[in-house]
Amino acid sequence: MPGLVIGVDLGATNIRAALGNIESGILRRVEEKTVQSESPDDVIQQFIRLIRMVSANDLDKVRAIGIGSIGPLDCWRGVILNPPNVPFKNVHIVETLRDMFRVPVYLLNDCTTAALGEWVFGAGRGLKNLAYITLSSGIGGGVVVDGIPLIGKDGNAAEIGHMVIDFEERLACNCGGRGHREAYCSGSGIPKLAKYLIESRPDYFCGTLVEDLVGRGELTPKSLFELARRGDKGALKIIEEVGRLNAIGFANVNTLYDPELITVGGSIALNNLELVLKPIIANIGGYTANRAPKIIITPLGGDVVLYGAIALASNPPQTLAQGVR
Ligand SMILES: [Zn+2]
């Protein structure tokens, strides 16, 4: 039996840890709400507690720890810098855990980690070129090109949510930039896009249910997709536009990285398969010169980052293992 490893998925809301290995994937898991504290020590203590809890009597068999984390981070120094939506910053997680457990510890951003999970345990097994895209409250990505997971100078090689898709810069992104895809197609962006579209074409949206919800400031991605399923003309129009912009985003990924497969995860995609995926598949060909890839929902569902963290600990990218930026 190959040695055991620990994988940790640090999100803004939940933190999950798993004990596993490259043959069996996840053997045991624990989950908690992510500690909402300004103190890096509190975050580190939560990591230590979860790692001890999930490894139980097998702690002495653990030979590495892999962490897929919300960014921004510096994966080479092993530091979680200052993620939005959580109070903590500058968490020196790699060095601390390495000193504590005396095993190698690797840190990558959550979407690059998810791409590793897909490659090792999911639909990307056996492929040399694949991408993973999450459509959630934010938009992120990870890619493997020619059998090499791309990392970049700080670990942000595929920050595809922040690609500019609107040179008129109409909507503002959570990162402070403008015109980024995340500002239009993510969970936090979709309501802003809906408001913009309704204001720019009031005649078309007049009297639709979606116009009413936006007017009351109550539109969420969930309610938008529900209205679309009920056939509301306005909601369907907005979903069509989200689909077209998503197709542009997926096309840009295809043009840059030329993947054979793009798998899609994140709550927006996982909860609205048809309405999200169909327009992407239908429209991607119009926006990319490269041969279109196969596009599917990740078979690993909400566990894709956790599987990736097991893969990262078991078989880290060579450059990361060597600490070569
Ligand atoms: Zn942005």
pLDDT at 125: 97
Equal fold, 4-116+303-322 vs 125-299: yes
Q: How far is it, in rounded angstroms, from Cα 38 to Cα 111?
A: 24
Distance between Cα 125 and ligand 1 center (Å):
31
Reported as a single tens digit per residue, the pLDDT across 3-27 is 899 999 999 899 999 999 999 999 9
Reported as a single tens digit per residue, the pLDDT across 257-278 is 999 999 999 999 999 999 999 9
Calculate mean pLDDT across residues 36-41.
Answer: 96
Q: How much of the chain exceeds pLDDT 90, in percent?
A: 91
Q: Is the pLDDT of residue 2 over 70?
A: no
Considering the entire predicted model, what is its pTM? 0.94
Write down the mean pLDDT value for the chain.
95
Distance between Cα 187 and ligand 1 center (Å):
13
Q: Is the pLDDT of residue 149 over 90?
A: yes
Please enumerate in sequence order all residues whose Cβ is within 8 A of that of 228, keeping only pairs 6 or more positions apart, or say none: 235, 236, 238, 239, 275
Distance between Cα 177 and ligand 1 center (Å):
5
Q: Is the pLDDT of residue 98 over 90?
A: yes
When mean pLDDT is compared across 15-24, 76-85, 97-106, the lowest value belongs to 76-85
Distance between Cα 264 and ligand 1 center (Å):
19
Please enumerate in sequence order all residues whose Cβ is within 8 A of that of 314, keeping only pairs 6 or more positions apart, or say none: 2, 5, 21, 22, 64, 66, 120
When mean pLDDT is compared across 35-39, 154-158, 208-212, the lowest value belongs to 154-158
Distance between Cα 97 and ligand 1 center (Å):
31
Domain boundaries, given as residue ranges, for the chain: 4-116+303-322, 125-299
Topology at the third CATH level for domain 4-116+303-322: Nucleotidyltransferase; domain 5 (3.30.420)
pLDDT at 154: 85
Q: How far is it, in rounded angstroms, from Cα 302 to Cα 292?
A: 25
Q: How far is it, in rounded angstroms, from Cα 120 to Cα 66?
A: 14
pLDDT at 1: 53
What architecture is domain 125-299? 2-Layer Sandwich (3.30)
